[in-house]
Structure 1
Amino acid sequence: MSAQPHLRVVRGNPDDEELAALTAVVAALASRPAPQAAAPRRSAWADRSRLVRRPLHAGPGAWRASGLP
């Protein structure tokens, strides 16, 4: 064991169960992985789904829709 304690009680007089619960919580928080940064949002200009054409439906004005994006 090390010479210096890792946890120190500043106020109060906790019993063994309270110290065990505190140690378990601190150990669980310390073993948790660091949060990952969110992926940067892509611009709508770079969205490749805009290149996919919508289906054409037969009907009035369908010939006009066939030439427009």
Structure 2
Amino acid sequence: MIRIVRGNPTPEELAAALAVVRARAAATAAAAEGGAPPPPEQWADPARIARSTSPLPGPRAWARTYWPV
């Protein structure tokens, strides 16, 4: 059951919100039936951090921590 707590949505806004809720429910039901698991999010991939190399420490390493290269 969905209840409007605050505001006064137009019928179009309410229909759009219900369409999103129904689509999400249908996607969840389809995934529960045995569909393929969704791919992992790219931003949560720990290997993303290791893709670039850090500057090696040296005599002016403190300056490289602030100033762009």
Q: In which range does the TM-score fall when normalised by the shorter chain?
A: 0.3 to 0.5
Q: TM-score, normalised by structure 2?
A: 0.41
Name the one with the larger helix percent.
Answer: 2
Q: Which of 1 and 2 has higher RCO (CA within 8 Å, sep 6+)?
A: 1
Q: Which structure has the larger Rg?
A: 1
What's the TM-score, normalizing by structure 1?
Answer: 0.41
